[in-house]
């Protein structure tokens, strides 16, 4: 099960089969475009085997969900929400600013929230109340007025509770590519949104990518993955536990250990077999291990080079000097330093966001944060003194480009 693996092979395995679902996703989108809610109801029955009268989840049902969830779980969600909110509030600090950069010239940035966004919360193999928190809370912290949640039917009460705690404004029981199409295009029940965030399977990811002409998205986010950089100081039990925690998400979840120590890699393999024995999701883990393995390197510097190349969603650094290793990391969705920073803490309650780019997209995208829900407008104010300072510079450049009216708009002010 646990074996050496080539980096290129590992990268191929984690890409998923997006191209294979392109045509069926296109057909789903066109069906939703043409038939709206009727298509959502028909597709929900076809794919999720649930017959619905409406995709709307009303307030009464959400409130009733609180009576179906243990009080201790509600308290856990509330505490996790508080930590996630705190982290995302810190991201707003110094995001809007105005500063006089030289006499008479004041420049700045004004950050304004989007008005209506959609959050996709997966269902299927498990319920993900944590993803509801991760998607909705940063949007609300950013100031988004309307946050719409879609999640597959039947909806777990725990997910509904999390959506209410996070502040979701509308909830719909529809999943898959059809949910993405509904939020992007709109139906009689679901008004369209400006942006869609949240992870999903290849159908969800393909739909997000196909609909980018109608709606903005966060980034492609497929099956969860982890890479671990470890030297001889790494603890095989901890590394195996982190790998299994991601492998249990999905049979396509790829896991990679990059290590300088072959004996550590073999001990991790033994721990994986031992710890997986009692797992309730053993079958999923075993299939995920088919996409996983380890790479031996000569030193930590080579490990960092490989990690930057594959740009993992989750990167665990378990080396003798994790801070030094971190300083050379450029590409990763979320980074976990040292042996006592399990990825699961970031998944739930440390406060950082677990909605992250996968399959190497961390080379291009950042994980979900407050800025995904905002637009930045530049601001400038010049006094007459400031205009005099740069007037000749602007007019000379404008005339060099043949734009006489641009130059005139400066000179008409300076002649007053």
Just list the catalytic residues.
Answer: 313-314
Q: Which of 174, 144, 177, 125 is nearest to 287 (CA)?
A: 125
Query: Maximum distance among all alpha carbons in the chain?
Result: 83
Eight-class DSSP state of 155: P
CA dist., res. 78 & res. 66, Å (int): 12
φ, ψ (nearest 5 deg) of residue 414: -75, -20
**CB burial readout 163-194, b (16+ within 10 A) else e:** bbbbbbebbbbbbbbbbbbbbbbbbebbebbb
Angular region, 118: left φ>0, alpha ψ -120 to 50, beta rest: beta
CA dist., res. 62 & res. 54, Å (int): 15
Q: Which residues pair with 379 in a beta bridge?
A: 108
CA dist., res. 308 & res. 131, Å (int): 26
Question: How many whole angstroms from its chain centre is CA 71?
Answer: 29
Question: How many whole angstroms from its chain centre is CA 17?
Answer: 19
175 SS3 class:
coil
CA dist., res. 83 & res. 81, Å (int): 5
**Distant-in-sequence contacts of 81-85, Cβ < 8 A, 24+ apart:** 81/133, 81/137, 81/162, 81/165, 81/166, 83/349, 83/350, 83/351, 84/133, 84/134, 84/137, 84/138, 84/349, 84/351, 84/353, 85/137, 85/141
State the CB neighbour count (10 A cutoff) for residue 66. 14
């Amino acid at each position: 099960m646990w074996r050496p693996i080539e980096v290129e092979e590992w990268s191929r395995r984690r890409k998923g089969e997006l191209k294979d679902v392109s045509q069926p996703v296109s057909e789903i989108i066109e069906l939703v475009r043409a038939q709206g809610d009727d298509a959502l109801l028909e597709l929900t029955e076809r794919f999720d085997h649930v017959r619905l009268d409406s995709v709307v989840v009303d307030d009464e049902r959400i409130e009733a969900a609180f009576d179906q969830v243990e009080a201790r779980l509600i308290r856990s969600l509330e505490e996790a929400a508080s930590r996630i909110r705190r982290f995302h509030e810190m991201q707003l600090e110094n995001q809007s600013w105005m500063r006089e950069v030289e006499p008479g010239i004041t420049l700045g940035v004004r950050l304004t929230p989007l008005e209506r966004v959609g959050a996709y919360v997966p269902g299927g193999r498990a319920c993900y109340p944590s993803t509801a928190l991760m998607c909705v809370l940063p949007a609300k912290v950013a100031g988004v007025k309307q946050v719409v949640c879609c999640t597959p039917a039947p909806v777990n009460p725990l997910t509904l509770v999390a959506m209410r705690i996070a502040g979701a404004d509308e909830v719909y029981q529809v999943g898959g590519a059809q949910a993405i199409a509904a939020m992007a295009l709109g139906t009689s029940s679901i008004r369209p949104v400006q942006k869609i965030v949240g992870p999903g399977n290849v159908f969800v990811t393909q739909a997000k990518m196909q609909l980018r002409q109608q709606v903005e998205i966060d980034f492609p986010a497929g099956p969860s993955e982890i890479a671990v950089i470890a030297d001889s100081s790494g603890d095989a039990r901890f590394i195996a536990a982190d790998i299994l925690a991601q492998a249990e998400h999905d049979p396509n979840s790829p896991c990679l250990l990059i290590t300088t120590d072959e004996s550590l890699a073999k001990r991790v393999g033994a721990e994986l077999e031992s710890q997986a024995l009692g797992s309730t999701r053993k079958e999923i883990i075993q299939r995920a291990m088919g996409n996983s393995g380890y790479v031996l390197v000569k030193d930590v510097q080579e490990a960092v080079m490989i990690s930057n190349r594959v740009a993992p969603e989750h990167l665990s650094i378990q080396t003798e000097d994790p801070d030094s290793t971190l300083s050379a990391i450029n590409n990763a969705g979320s980074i976990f330093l040292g042996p006592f920073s399990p990825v699961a803490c970031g998944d739930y309650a440390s406060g950082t966001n677990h909605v992250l780019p996968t399959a190497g997209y961390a080379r291009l995208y950042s994980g979900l944060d407050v800025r995904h829900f905002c637009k930045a407008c530049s601001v400038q104010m010049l006094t007459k003194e400031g205009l005099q300072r740069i007037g000749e510079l602007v007019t000379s450049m404008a005339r060099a480009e043949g734009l006489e009216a641009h130059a005139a708009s400066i000179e008409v002010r300076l002649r007053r």
